[in-house]
Structure 1
Amino acid sequence: MRLDKFIAKSTTLNKQQVIVVIQAEKILVNNILITDCAFQVHENNHVTLEGRLLKTRPFRYLLMHKPAHTICSNIDEVYPSALNLLKLNNDIEHVSELHIAGRLDVDTTGLILITDDGRWTFNITLPTNNCSKIYRVNLSKVITQDIVKRFAEGIQLQGEANLTLPAFIEVINSKEVLLTLTEGKFHQVKRMFSAVGNRVVKLHREQIGDVKLDVAAGKWRYLTPLEINSFYK
């Protein structure tokens, strides 16, 4: 973890105040003066501020049901950030330290994971870890067995050198499917169906890895220890 982030998670200082105390030579790491905000510190390091030992707050892991017309960003843009939903009842402190582990489009609803543990996020989003995601997809045209087969073999997306990894379709009805992916390219679900002549009308993520969505739209809960650890398989 960067030194400036470590101090922010160990104190009530804001970002600018953290920079000031580092540059003012008030921080020691293992009894060595450090003035580089990007210096990497680890859990077993001894970090002090003017002689006071610092200890970071515990990491947090949340599940949220993202509603439509919100974005997976830490700041509001044209649409509001989904993280605003954590602030409604002042239930969560230090929301600015949190981030979303993987994104959904503004009009896509469903499961997002929120944390302040960067290493945990990396484990989820690293392509080689093949973390599965399940989407409920409503389509403009009837799904065919040929499309099911093509998805399992890989789809050539425009602008991509390689085929997508095998994706698996479970047909619910003629225009509704459950789609399982193990990668997360930009707008991938919509681009895959577009590549086979269909169009996504509605998109909803139901599951990431072993974690299933079980709260109403706009609501959230903390992950259980079992759910948190499931991403270290």
Structure 2
Amino acid sequence: MEETVRLNKFLSEKGICSRREADRLVDEGKVMVNGVCAVMGQKVSSADEIVVDGKKVSTKQVKPVLIAVNKPAGIVCTTARFEGEKNIVDMVKYPTRIYPIGRLDKESEGLILMTNLGDLANEISKASNSHEKEYVVTVNNQVTESFLDKMRRGMHLEELNADTMPCVCTKTGNREFHIILKQGLNRQIRRMCAACGYRVETLKRIRIMNIHLGNIPQGNFRNVTDAEFDKLIKTL
């Protein structure tokens, strides 16, 4: 008897999309299993015929892909397509199906990882794993020690009803600072700055764990090296 797994896990392992995206596609009625609309939480096996957005999912083993992308501002980090929006999948135009690991909001730029490895994406994205992400931020006013101290200590964000964790925050220019986070609340840096009376003007992610943005041209990507991949796996 074929081993069964949850549909969202199956699709992520086949490099179709992340588990979250899979749930969204199921909810929108875009996934069929053996000719019938899939339901949330459904279990499937490689013996099932699965169709996503009109395309049959291959049961062949996929070749692992992990790339580092320099996302420009204005690009959305999703596999979904919305009128008037350009998503990162269409921008990268990778020859096989891959999807972004986590998010970087539309107005922000910099490093985002893309893969077809569902379990890897899940492990990196888990908030409970406290993986480091580093950003360069410019704001509308002079960066003061008082501002940095508030950011470092952590704060309560009313709109999310959540507390930010203590973080590393270093001044690098009159209106610029670097920040290293170990959590990924929605628009966290922008909300933290706003709570301190500042407005973010530019926000660039330059590192995810041991993977650095480096000199990747904006809108382009590079393959993660074997050494980087091995180190990444060891820290998960």
Question: Given the superposition, is the C-alpha separation of residues 85 and 131 from structure 1 closer, same or farther in structure 2, using an over 3 Å criterion?
Answer: same
Q: Secondary structure in 2 aligned to 1:226? A: helix
Q: Which residue of 1 aligns with 2:150?
A: 150
> Aligned to 1:75, which of 67, 77, 80?
80
Amino acid at match of 1:222: N
TM-score with structure 1 setting the length: 0.76
Match of 2:90 in 1: 84
- In terms of fraction of residues, the more strand-rich structure is 2
- Give structure 1 stretches of 5+ with no counterpart: 25-36, 42-46
Q: Does 1:65 align with 2:85?
A: no
Does the CA-based 8 Å contact 2:168-2:179 persist in structure 1? Answer: yes
Instruction: Give me the whole-angstrom Cα distance separating, in 2, the residues matched to 1:151 and 1:162.
Output: 14
Distance 1:63 1:221 in 2: 5
Bigger Rg over Cα: 1
Deviation by residue 1:146-198 (Cα, 9 ceiling, x = unmatched): 12212221122123444200121111112001111111111111000000111
SS in 2 for 1:128: helix
Match in the other structure for 1:226? 227
Structure 1 letter corresponding to 2:85:
Y
Provide, for residues 103-142 of structure 1, a one-character-per-residue CA deviation record: whole Å limited to 9, x for no partner: 1111211000111212111111111211111111011011
Aligned length: 202
Name the aligned partner's letter for residue 99 of structure 1: Y
C-alpha distance after superposition, 1:68-109 (max 9, x if no partner):
11100113323200111222xxx512x3xx221111111211
Q: Structure 2 matches for 1:69-218, cutoff 5 A?
A: 69-77=74-82, 78-87=84-93, 92-93=95-96, 95=97, 98-214=98-214, 215-218=216-219
Alignment-mate amino acid for residue 133 of structure 2: K
One-letter identity of the residue aligned with 1:80: K
SS in 2 for 1:123: helix
How far is 1:23 from its partner? 5.5
Matching residue's letter, 1:149: D
- Give 1:4-23 correspondences, 5 Å limit: 5=11, 19=32, 22=34
CA distance in 2, matches of 1:5, 1:194: 38
1:133 and 1:207 in contact (8 A); partners too: yes
Unaligned runs of 5+ in 2: 17-25, 50-58
CA distance in 1, matches of 2:221, 2:152: 33
Native 8 Å contact 1:211 1:227 kept in 2: yes
CA distance in structure 2 between the partners assigned to 1:201 and 1:7 by the alignment: 37
